[in-house]
Amino acid sequence: MTAYIIRRLLLIVPTLFVIMVINFAIIQLAPGGPVEQLIGQITGTGTDITERVTRGGSGAETLTDTSQSVPGGGGGEASSSRYRGAQGLDPKFIEELEEQFGFDKPVHERFFQMLGSYIMFDFGESFFRDRKVVDLVIDKMPVSISLGLWTTLLVYLISIPLGVAKAVRDGTPFDVWTSGLVIVGNAIPAFLFAVFLIVVFAGGSYFDVFPLRGLTSTNWAELSWPDRIADYFWHLVLPVTSMVIGGFASLTMLTKNSFLDQINLQYVTTARAKGLNERQVLYGHVFRNAMLIVIAGFPSAFIGILFTGSLFIEIIFSLDGLGLLGFEAAFARDYPVIFGTLFFFSLLGLIMSLVGDIMYMIIDPRIDFETRET
């Protein structure tokens, strides 16, 4: 097991390198880089996302202020600039912008300089927020972890018992009507269900029971610890419910099918022939084998919900988490935030994949990845 873990850890390095190379190339080819974004602000054609990101003071705003004193002469030279909207701006100012963002260096040099910094876990500073990427991620992480952790736990707590019950009662009316609920839950997008919950329970048209914004109340610091905990979960009810509704469907069917596959195997028939009752057969023999793929998939399920499932929920409920951070960084072409979070999340995903394999071996010691042919 130790040798397998070491091999997997060593494999993380080339895998992470390929991920960064591919995404770096794609981002470089995409139009509208940070220089164009800032030029758009200077010329009054910037997007709302960029203006929102730069709000509150940033290095980018300093450059914008400086540009106001830059003469607009040299229009003929600026008109041949490779940046859209640069007409009328002094070419020297464009060069200053390129140097500020590091675009005065060749692409390959920028890439390896970035990797060298990332190896030391130095993710740089945001172009438009005037803060380090690490600080931004740390600030946003509690919101995303709250959504991802509680959603994953609730999905498992609902899906596993429901999936087992459906497998035991396969073909019965209970199986049929619960399958209908699963289909409906799978068909409703999380963000659409979130809007429905807001309309019904957050003062939209019917009841005003739950808060609409944030994870805590404005007076949270003044509350006692029991009241703080209650306030925190009170704010979580609607966003977590919205994410759970679409997450439990696939896991429920996976649990059911996994149990059905095991129930029809020979060892189950043998256990019954020995005189064991159905409960002993189900939870003494079937459960461990059937739940292997379900439980071992917990790390990857958590990562998926944490980083891909909460973007719209964060926007709808005004939750300032990692999903919203990545969304705004992509639109503003904030490269340090994009690549820093990509590196961090890719590394975390690869590590959690290894944790999933280790959980396989812990749950069923008969599994030995070291003896597999490679």
In a domain, 275, yes or no: yes
Residues in the chain, total: 374
In a domain, 240, yes or no: yes
**Mean pLDDT of each 10-residue bin along the chain, 374 residues long:** 83 91 85 73 60 49 45 45 62 76 82 88 84 89 86 87 88 90 84 88 81 84 88 90 82 85 83 80 77 72 68 83 82 86 84 80 68 53
pLDDT at 15 (0 to 100): 92
pLDDT at 306 (0 to 100): 67
In a domain, 17, yes or no: no
What percent of the chain shows pLDDT beyond 70? 80
CB atoms within 10 A of CB 302: 19
In a domain, 78, yes or no: no
Q: What is the pLDDT of residues 276-293, one digit of tens each?
A: 887 778 777 787 777 777
Closest alpha carbon to 95 in 104, 83, 85: 104
pLDDT at 8 (0 to 100): 86
Give the tokens for residue 357.
Answer: 């394999």
In a domain, 19, yes or no: no
Mean pLDDT taken over the chain: 78
pLDDT at 89 (0 to 100): 65
Residue type, 199: V
CA–CA distance, 60 with 35 (Å, rounded to integer): 10
Chain Cα centroid distance, residue 19? 16
pLDDT at 14 (0 to 100): 92
Q: Which domain holds residue 224?
A: 141-320
Q: What's the CATH number where 301 sits?
A: 1.10.3720.10
In a domain, 325, yes or no: no
| Number of domains into which the chain is organized | 1
In a domain, 159, yes or no: yes
Q: What is the pLDDT of residues 153-187, one digit of tens each?
A: 888 888 888 988 898 888 899 999 998 888 888 88
CA–CA distance, 257 with 264 (Å, rounded to integer): 11
In a domain, 307, yes or no: yes
Do 281 and 271 contact (CB within 8 A), yes or no? yes
pLDDT at 191 (0 to 100): 84
